[in-house]
Amino acid sequence: MMASSSNSYRFSSGPIMWWSLVVAAMVVLAAARGATAAVACSPVQLSSCVSAIRSATQPSKLCCAKIKEQRPCLCQYMKNPALKPYVNTPNARKVASTCGTPFPKC
């Protein structure tokens, strides 16, 4: 009898463990969503990158910082017809790569 009662305790902790993992995953996802939402998408923030994108010159440190900051917004910029010719170009991808910022797949 003792063995069966200890088994029931072992199985009863399974749902608690599962719910703990679910709650932890939800907290992580909420934190990630909050970090993305904190970025104010403003294409003007990338103005320091214009010369590097147009002439394929080395991007400045400010440009790299802004590309990293604005990365969550790049897909939105590529959907904008006025911005797409600047953002969705080989030179823009090269600038992002040079800055160590992976270009998003939208």
CA pair distance 51, 54, nearest whole angstrom: 5
User: Is-contact 54 94, C-beta < 8 A?
Assistant: no
- List strand residue ranges (DSSP E) for the chain, in order: none
Phi and psi angles of residue 33, each rounded to the nearest 5 degrees, phi first: -65, -40
- The answer on pLDDT for 27 being more than 90 is no
pLDDT at 56: 80
Residue spans of the domains in the chain: they are 1-38, 43-98
Residue 28 clears pLDDT 90, i.e. is over it: no
Question: Which pLDDT tens digit goes with each residue over 64-78?
Answer: 999 999 999 999 999
From the candidate CATH numbers 1.10.110.10, 1.10.760.10, 1.10.10.10, 3.10.105.10, the one assigned to the domain spanning 43-98: 1.10.110.10
The candidate with the shortest Cα–Cα distance to 49, out of 21, 13, 77, is 77
pLDDT at 29: 44
Q: Are 103 and 97 in contact (CB under 8 A)?
A: yes
